[in-house]
Each structure stands twice: as C-alpha cells, then as structure tokens.
Homo-oligomer: A and B are copies of this chain.
Amino acid sequence: MITTASTIPVEVGENYLEAFAKLSCTNVNVMHIRNREDAQKPDYIQRIKEADAVMFSGGNQMRLTATFGGTEIYRTLQTRYKNEEGFLIAGTSAGAMAMSNTMIYEGNAANAHLKGAVKVTTGLAFMGDVIFDSHFDKRGRFGRLAQAVATNPTCIGIGLGEDTGLLITEGNKMEAIGSGMIIIIDGHNIGYCNIADIADNSPISVENLTVHFWRKETDTCWKQENT
C-alpha cells in the first residue's frame, strides 16, 4: 500500500490495513514514500520488486507523478506490469487517476465547459490511450473529462463512480466491478469541435461524443484497441 498521494499517510495506511484484514488479507504492508529521496531507498525498491500487488491510495495525483516519475520504483512497476501475468497494480481516487497516460489534476465542475479550466499532465501510463477520472458522478465531472478527450480523441475517457472499479486484464480488457457506474467517453467520432480555435475561458463546442454507461455484469467486457 503506497500512501504517497495523501497528506495524512499514517491514518490512510491504518485504514487500509484494517480494510484488508476484514478481507482476510494479512500479508499487507504500507510504504510511506513522501518524496523523491524516499523513492530512492533500496528497501522500498526491493519491496516493490517482491510484492504480489501494489495499491496507490487517494490524495493528490500529482504527488504520485512528481514523486515517482523517472525513478527505479516506477521503472520496476512498469516492467513487472508488462511482463508478469499475476502482478497487480491498483489505485483509488488519485491513485486511479494517475494510472492513465494522460492525467487530469485539476478542474472544477462549475467551469469545466470553459477551455483551459481542465488541467492535465503526463500520468504514470500503466494504460495507454485513456484518461481516468474518479468520483465521477458524485462530483459532476462529465464536462472536464469530455474537455480532456476533445483535445485529443485518441484517448478514451473513463469515469469511475463511487464504490466502483474497473478490472483491467491483458493490458486493455476492461470489466466493471462494484455497486456503481463506469462512464466511457469516446471521442473517435467527434465531428465539429472548436477547442483548438477558441481563446482560453471560452465555452467549448463538441459534436458527436459517444458515451457508454456500464455496471457490473450488465455489460460484457470491452477491449480498448490500441491506436
């Protein structure tokens, strides 16, 4: 359990140890990696090399990219994820948002229809050609994910509702799990789109977004084709 995204890592770590204990998972430990210096410590690197699964807590997703970007821990996670069939990487909230190649780090629902109100940067890129967003329905994040997709429709937008996850296997097979919704925003068929031509803070106009709502077991799994 990696608590780097959180500003209250000890509390978060304890909560997860309790939660995993309820699931009878007892071989669980917490890594309080606070900064890039911590990320270089051989003990942490070794544990990342040996763990069966790694989970990122919530908090601030940019703490994950700014702390782990270009580090040996990051390279190890990428290599193991690509090459070891049983190795699992999980994340919740900020920990889920950091998983895609393109990562939203800011954007209020109230002005997400205005160009430039949604801020993104490079994510940890465990999955390519997608943008994950979390707390999707509760926090009204359709507009910000749609804006991020419109800037480059190569990326599929994937919004995660509360108590809902996406199980990704074989790199690009996706299946909804949990009690809520997954929303997919596919921009491949976008026709008219003004986002490149308008000034910042002007309202965007986008034609023909394709949107899917998924929930557990009501849909078959879906494969994101690499572009």
Contact = CB atoms under 8 A, between A and B. Distances in A.
A143 interface: no
B195 A70 contact: no
Interface in A63-93: 63, 65-67, 69-71, 74-75, 78
A187 interface: yes
Contacts of A153: 66, 69-71
Contacts of A125: 154
A191 B151 contact: no
A216 interface: no
A150 B116 CA distance: 20
A50 interface: no
B106 A122 contact: no
A121 B118 CA distance: 10
Contact of A101 (B101, B105, B119): B101
A188 interface: yes
Contact of A227 (B74, B106, B123, B187): B74
Contacts of A152: 65-66, 69-70, 121-124
A25 interface: no
A36 B193 contact: yes
Given A75-B227, A191-B37, A122 B154 contact: yes
Interface in A107-155: 116, 119-125, 131, 148, 150-155
A49 to B, nearest CB: 16
A213 interface: no
A197 interface: yes
A191 B67 CA distance: 9
A224 to B, nearest CB: 11
Given A121-B148, A122-B154, A152-B122, A187 B101 contact: no
Contacts of A124: 152, 154
Q: Tell me which of A75, A121, A152, A193 has the highest count of chain B C-beta atoms within 10 A of its own C-beta.
A: A152
Interface of A: 35-37, 60, 62-63, 65-67, 69-71, 74-75, 78, 101-102, 105-106, 116, 119-125, 131, 148, 150-155, 187-188, 190-193, 195-197, 200, 227
